[in-house]
Each structure stands twice: as C-alpha cells, then as structure tokens.
C-alpha cells in the first residue's frame, strides 16, 4: 500500500513497485541490446566497406536502425513508467505504444533504404557496368550477425512476453528481421564470392529481396501500435473473456455499453451493468466491486475500469431468462 512510513518517507504502492521493476528489467534488456548493436554495427560497416559488399553495408544500416530504436525504447519506457497526474489521469502508458510505432516506422525507412541501394546496384550491373566482388570478411560479418541477432531476438522476446511490453516485443522482432537480413546477406555474399563472375550481382539482389521481408515486419508492428493509439478495442479473445466474466458474476442481470482499449501495457474497460432495482446502494456497490475484481483477473491489476450501475428495468424477466439477449449487447 502507498503511504508514509514511520520515518516520514513516502512509500510506493504495490502497482508502482511492480511498474518500477518492469521498467528496470525492460531497460536492462534494452541496454544489453544497445551495446551489442553498437559493436555489431561498427563491425558490419567496416566489413562492408573493406569487403566491397553492398549487401553488408545495407545490413549495417539495418543494425544502425536497431541502435536508434533501442534508444527510443528506453526513452519511451522511462516516460511511460511515470505515475498518473492531474493532466494524465490514466498515466503515461501511451508513450510506450508510441515508441513501438516509432520502431515500426524506422524499420520501414531502413527497408526502403536497403531496397533502393540494392536496386540501384542491380540496374547498374544490367547496364553493363561491373560490380566489385565482395571478400570473405563480409561473409564472416554476416555469419556473426546471424548468431548475435538471433540470440538477441530470443533474449528480448522472452523478457518482452514476461513483462508484457509491446515495445520490447517489437524490438525483439526487429532483431529477428536483422537476423533474416543477415541470412540473405550471407547467401548473396557467399554466392558472389564462390561463384564469381556475373554472379556478383547476387550481393545487391539479396539486399533487395530482404528489404521486402523487413518492410512486412515494419508494417505489422506499426499497424498494431497505431491501432492502439486510435483507441482500438482489445483482441476478441480478451473481449469474450470479459463478457463471460460479466455474465457469470452473481447479481449482474445484464450489461451494455462495454468498451475496451489499451493504454500502454495496461488494459481498460468501461461498462454499464444492470442489477436488481430493489437492491440497496451497499449491495449494488458490492456487485460492482466483484465485477472489478473479475476484470482484474483478466486484464491485470494495473488495468483501468469504469463500472456504471443501472437498475434493471425488468428484474423478474432476467431472473427467469438468465441468458437473455440483452446481456450480450455489444456497443
């Protein structure tokens, strides 16, 4: 519970302590990612330049975008953990969603840059100009990148799901897209090195093909985040669970005006429940409290719930027809 201890020091509530723990863990995971991304970006750029590999330079640019998104995630999480105040009654959780959307947009920009750079090289080649053959250092960099980025994906996705952080999960898929990018780079560079001759064009072709995969990941991440910023409802499975909880709560004779949304990593629900019109205010409030507890079981203790109590217009009807269609009205 939040309050003042014996020494006059302000103590944190359980939810605030949980949110601080969540932030510290998410920030630590992201900082690990930042260090590895920085080292990997430097090595890949050097390998791309020294090894004459367009695909590897494009791959390095993708890793640089990962470094930028790591910074965005940390900044977003830091602001999102701030408690609610007079001007942000529901907290600052939307900042995390905004950071996630930013990751998607940066990924899309990186995909376009990779596509354009590779496409120009392919056009130059088919106009009769030669392309430099990449060296083996670019191939080594691609293999190293695959291993590091796949490990980062697995490390980040586990913590992202554990902490229920969309920003971390989006960042994990950013790592996975970079691993896929490096697989294509490895194939393109390897083919150019070992086949030689006209096959040097495989290097920029690999960059073009991989740009489409990266763009797909960027679209999925951005769409989900922008949808949340536009106050989209919760997923259908969670929505049905809320409906079932309302229907099965003793004393709830019906409900309507059920509206749901996400605020950062927290879920929110507003609903009007109908109770027996002859109940006292105390009893009606007790039913409302039971509904709120049920919603917390589904949406988490950090959720935001608004429950409006209304007298049921026909209590006897609902007592005889407990599965009345009005109970399932969704607006």
Per-residue model confidence as pLDDT tens digits over 243-295:
888 888 888 888 888 888 877 667 888 899 898 888 888 988 999 999 988 88
Q: Residue for token digits 């003042």? A: 4
Structure tokens at 60: 């390095």
Domains, the chain, in order of start with CATH, read 3-229 (1.20.1510.10), 236-328 (3.30.70.1350)
Helices (H), the chain: 14-50, 54-80, 94-126, 136-163, 166-195, 202-229, 236-248, 281-299, 315-320
Say what the pLDDT of residue 312 is.
80
Residue 324 sits at φ, ψ, to 5 deg, of -55, 145
Which pTM does this prediction carry?
Answer: 0.56
Q: Note the Cα 80 to chain centre separation in Å.
A: 14
> Per residue, what are the HEC states of 33-75?
HHHHHHHHHHHHHHHHHHCCCHHHHHHHHHHHHHHHHHHHHHH
pLDDT of 207 reads 75
What crossing angle do the helices spanning 54-80 and 94-126 adopt, rounded to 10°?
170
Q: Residues for the chain: how many in total? A: 331
Mean pLDDT of all residues in the chain?
77
Say if residues 165 and 81 touch (Cβ distance below 8 Å).
Answer: no
Distance CA 256, CA 279 (A): 19
304's enclosing H/E stretch is strand 304-311
Q: What's the DSSP call for residue 83?
A: P
Cβ(142)–Cβ(185) below 8 Å? yes
pLDDT tens-digit series, residues 30-78: 889 889 989 988 998 898 888 877 778 777 877 777 777 777 777 766 6
Query: Which residue, 57, 20, 214, is CA-closest to 131?
Result: 57
Q: Which structure tokens are listed for 177? A: 């897209």
Query: Tens digits of per-residue pLDDT, 85-116?
Result: 566 555 556 666 777 777 788 778 878 887 88
Please say whether the beta carbons of 264 and 302 come within 8 A: no
């Amino acid at each position: 519970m939040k309050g003042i201890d014996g020494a006059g020091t302000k103590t944190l509530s359980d939810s605030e302590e949980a949110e601080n723990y969540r932030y510290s863990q998410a920030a630590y995971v992201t900082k690990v990612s930042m260090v590895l991304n920085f080292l990997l970006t430097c090595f890949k750029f050097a390998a791309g330049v020294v090894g004459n590999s367009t695909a590897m330079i494009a791959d390095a640019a993708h890793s640089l975008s990962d470094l930028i998104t790591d910074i965005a995630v940390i900044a977003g999480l830091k602001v999102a953990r701030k408690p609610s105040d007079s001007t942000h009654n529901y907290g600052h959780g939307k900042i995390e969603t905004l950071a996630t959307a930013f990751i998607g947009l940066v990924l899309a920009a990186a995909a376009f840059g990779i596509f354009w750079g590779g496409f120009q090289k392919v056009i130059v080649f088919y106009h009769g100009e030669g392309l430099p053959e990449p060296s083996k250092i670019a191939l080594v960099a691609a293999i190293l990148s695959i291993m590091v980025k796949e490990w980062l994906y697995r490390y980040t996705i586990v913590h992202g799901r554990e902490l229920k952080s969309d920003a971390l999960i989006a960042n994990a898929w950013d790592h996975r897209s970079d691993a896929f990018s490096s697989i294509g780079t490895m194939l393109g560079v390897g083919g150019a090195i070992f086949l030689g001759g006209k096959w040097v064009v495989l290097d920029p072709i690999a960059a073009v093909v991989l740009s489409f995969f990266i763009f797909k990941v960027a679209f999925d991440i951005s769409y989900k985040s922008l949808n949340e910023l536009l106050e989209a409802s919760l997923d259908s499975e969670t929505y049905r669970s809320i409906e079932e909880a309302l229907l099965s709560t003793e004393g709830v004779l019906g409900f309507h005006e059920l509206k749901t949304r996400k605020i950062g990593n927290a879920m929110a629900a507003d609903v009007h429940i109908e109770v027996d019109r002859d109940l006292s205010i105390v009893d009606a409030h007790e039913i409302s409290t039971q509904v709120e507890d049920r919603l917390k079981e589904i949406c988490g203790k950090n959720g935001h719930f608004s429950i409006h109590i209304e007298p049921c217009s026909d209590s006897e009807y609902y007592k005889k027809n407990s599965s009345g269609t009005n109970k399932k009205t969704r607006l």
